[in-house]
Amino acid sequence: MIIPCIDLMGGKVVQLRQGREKALEGDPPLVMLQKFRAFGEIQVIDLDAALDQGSNDGIVQELAQRAILRVGGGIRTAERALDLLDNGVYRVIIGTAAFTPEGINRPFLESLPPERLLIALDSKGGRIVTRGWREATQFSAEEILSELEPYCAGFLCTYVDKEGMLQGTDLDWFRRLRAATKHEITAAGGITTLEEVRALTDMDIHAALGMAVYTGLLSLDVLAALNAGSR
């Protein structure tokens, strides 16, 4: 499955390089949602919430009434996660709150319905990073994946080293992750070419696409046709 991404900052649709530098702005959120109408599921990340500088909850709830959304970014309490689910979000994506300095935040994860939860394993320099990719943990995605399986329906695995840079992604990393779990995996971070999308599909890994779509390197029409053929 191909999943287009809508990243929100200050009420606008943006794309960042390495989670920090704004590279471009897209059309308004509802316009982008309409452009992505051919795809069954949309990924929405609230960058303001991820960076502890506010939220875009109103926009997220409006989008959730119109499409099937997986939503992440700064969801660090069970109350906020459940509120999003109650307001039409299909699945929530939990990153920072899934971990403590010692390991998995089991009490928090146990408070959420696993079938509606995706856990974000954002990896930079071989380690999982949290708090908007600003803090590194001591864990790698490969070594902790299986321990997280009971708490979620799948994983969003972002190769942060290449995020937003249009330099390609690390297919070998995703192959290792695929071998480590039978859960659903969504790949993100640096996916630039149709060949990469097809390679991920062949691995039974979903592809979350941002910068390559917004810059026109990947055609939405071509992606929609490829997505339809992979169902």
pLDDT in tens, 136-192: 778 889 989 999 999 999 999 999 887 766 788 999 999 999 999 999 999 999 999
122 catalytic per annotation? yes
Query: Alpha carbon of 205 to those of 92, 147, 155: distances in Å?
Result: 18, 19, 10
7 catalytic per annotation? yes
Domain boundaries, the chain: 2-229
For 83-94, the pLDDT digits (tens) are: 999 999 999 999
For 56-86, the pLDDT digits (tens) are: 999 999 999 999 999 999 999 999 999 999 9
How buried is 79 (Cβ within 10 angstroms: 0-12 exposed, 13-18 middle, 19+ buried)? Answer: exposed
Q: How far apart are CA 182 and CA 73, in angstroms?
A: 25
Confidence of residue 45 (pLDDT cuts 50, 70, 90): very high
- Could you tell me if 152 and 114 are in contact, meaning their C-beta atoms sit under 8 angstroms apart? yes
**pLDDT reported for residue 2:** 97
Query: With 80 as the cut, is the pLDDT of residue 221 above it?
Result: yes
- Could you tell me if 65 and 89 are in contact, meaning their C-beta atoms sit under 8 angstroms apart? no
Q: Please list, in sequence order, all residues whose beta carbon lies within 8 angstroms of the beta carbon of residue 100, skipping any fewer than 6 positions away.
A: none
Confidence of residue 220 (pLDDT cuts 50, 70, 90): very high
Catalytic residue among 46, 48, 57, 122: 122
Tell me the pTM: 0.93
Confidence of residue 37 (pLDDT cuts 50, 70, 90): very high
For 94-112, the pLDDT digits (tens) are: 999 999 888 899 999 999 9
Q: Does domain 2-229 have CATH number 3.20.20.70?
A: yes
**pLDDT reported for residue 19:** 67
Q: What percent of the chain has pLDDT over 90?
A: 79
Helix axes 141-148, 171-180, angle to 10 degrees: 30
Q: What is the mean pLDDT of the chain?
A: 92
Confidence of residue 231 (pLDDT cuts 50, 70, 90): low
Q: How far apart are CA 52 and CA 28, in angstroms?
A: 22
Query: Alpha carbon of 208 to those of 35, 79, 157, 163, 185: distances in Å?
Result: 15, 26, 10, 11, 10
